[in-house]
Amino acid sequence: MSGRNVTVVGLQWGDEGKGKIVDALAGHMRYVVRFCGGANAGHTVLVGDDKFALHLIPCGVLRQGVCNIVGNGVAFDPATAWGELSALRDRGVTVTSENLRISTAASVVMPWHKLQDTLSEAALAKGKKIGTTARGIGPCYSDKANRTTSIRAADLKDPAILAEKIRSIVKIKNTIFSALYDAEPMDAEAIVTEYTQLGENLGDMICNTGGLLRKAVADDTPILFEGGQGSMLDVDHGTYPFVTSSNVTACGVPSGAGIPPSAVGQVVGLIKAYSTRVGEGPFPTEQDNEIGNAIREAGNEYGTTTGRPRRCGWFDAFAVKFAVDLSGANELALSLLDVLTGMGELKICTGYRTNGQDQEMFDPAAMSGVECVYETLPGWDCDITGCKTFDELPPEAQSYVNRVEELLARPVGLISVGPERDQTIVHHTQVEGLG
Ligand code: GDP
Ligand code: IMO
Ligand code: MG
């Protein structure tokens, strides 16, 4: 295991509170690296009264001395990145080529990807829709795999190549979109003008980030890998086809950042104390009732990127154990525990049953229509948002954490009891500088 490196990945359906935990750990790091997804992510960080919602720029941007990297595995949207970067600068955050670097090999999200995302979702029948964020993620990764219709961040630095590629790809896309969706043709020249300007704005940040990171690995410089989405949304291992289009578990770090598997470091698996999901797809512990509504309101469970209400339900230890094993999580960070305050008795799903038979092994392809096996735990009513140590938590909250540790067979390193930086209880963590 590489010395001081840490990987933070979500073990559920995203929105586990990665922004807050990455920010907490980033103070000890030299690099913070996004390796998957794109502007479909929405990572919230609270710094005092200031709330930041980051989509493409890694959360380390809010810490001094951190170099933030958008890795080759990211679907990089230069228009969103430039908007985000400018908004950060307007709020007094320094963002320069010193603290933000973008991989030359990152695939670029272009206007036609966002258009296709929207058109294809609209054309799908009910029950077939994925419920994407409409950020062009799926179409961008499709073109990456297709190669001849893809633009890479390196191309943004070369106006002639960029213009030529845009003109030839727009021709293809216009033909397809017109035939499939009866769409109006896109104006290639307007796109050339806009993206040439974006290339000029961002060009000095686009470089060989893989080389930079491998040098950091060789020098034992600490790196934090910031996951996007959550394990159940992984394109290979999630609830396909209701997934995103990249490898979002710790397995995606080496290829998405360009470092050897041995440099992934300590894997912190992030879980929220219950479950949420945005978009379509199976969600066995969903509570489409008063309980789910109460969780949504207490946890303010509305999408950071799209504002959509999140589907809410009980903690699913059966699904999360699969994600723990897949990412090889060494420890867990448990977030949003305070949201369960006052909910009465709490349930944790420990297994699935199909036709009265217990499922032996979790299988993301066999989640529809399963019956959940629940364990009931006592709840608590007192406010825990001011607790600074595990011992200050009410006994019922302690039991809940202990049971999660038992079921997942991993220590809970950190417990988050509120969105603020100082609302974090350091428990059984092995992460250097925290324990
Ligand atoms: P991410 O995508 O995993 O970074 O998570 P999001 O930012 O999309 O959603 C998490 C939300 O929960 C944000 O609004 C955070 O400010 C908030 N949050 C994070 N940790 C806690 C916590 O322990 N308690 C509460 N109440 N809110 C939290
Ligand atoms: P963070 O990093 C929650 C979901 C979408 C949809 C599916 C596919 O904030 O946890 P896409 O636009 O990627 O093609 O949508 O994936 N999704 C997320 N859900 N949090 C995210 O990111 C997500 N990123 C994508 O809602 O169901
Ligand atoms: Mg989010």
Catalytic residue among 43, 55, 237, 427: 43
CA distance linking residue 164 with residue 291, whole number of Å: 55
Q: Which residue is closest in CA terms to ligand 1's atom 10?
A: 17
Q: Using a 6 Å cutoff on CB, does residue 4 contact ligand 1?
A: no
pLDDT of 266-288, one tens digit each? Answer: 999 999 999 999 999 999 999 99
pTM: 0.98
The pLDDT, as a whole number, for residue 432 is 84
Instruction: Answer yes or no: is pLDDT of 223 > 80.
Output: yes
Among this protein's residues, is 15 annotated catalytic? Answer: yes
Split at pLDDT 50, 70, 90, the class of 325 is: very high
CA 241 centroid distance within chain: 18
When pLDDT is cut at 50, 70 and 90, the band that residue 2 belongs to is low
Work out whether the CA dihedral 255, 54, 110, 119 comes out positive or negative: positive
pLDDT at 1 over 80: no
Q: What average pLDDT does range 243-265 have in this prediction? A: 98
pLDDT of residue 3 exceeding 80 = no
* Predicted pLDDT at 229: 98
Residue 43, Cβ neighbours under 10 Å: how many?
27
CA of 14 to the centre of ligand 2 (A): 7
Which residues have C-beta within 8 Å of that of residue 187, sequence separation ≥ 6?
A: none
Ligand 3 mean position to 43 CA, how many Å? Answer: 5
pLDDT for res 44 = 97
Contact 140, 107 (CB under 8 A): yes
Q: Is 143 a catalytic residue?
A: no
The pLDDT mean for the chain works out to 96
Give Cβ neighbours of residue 304 (< 8 Å, ≥ 6 apart).
Answer: 15, 42, 43, 44, 53
Instruction: Give pLDDT, residue 368.
Output: 85
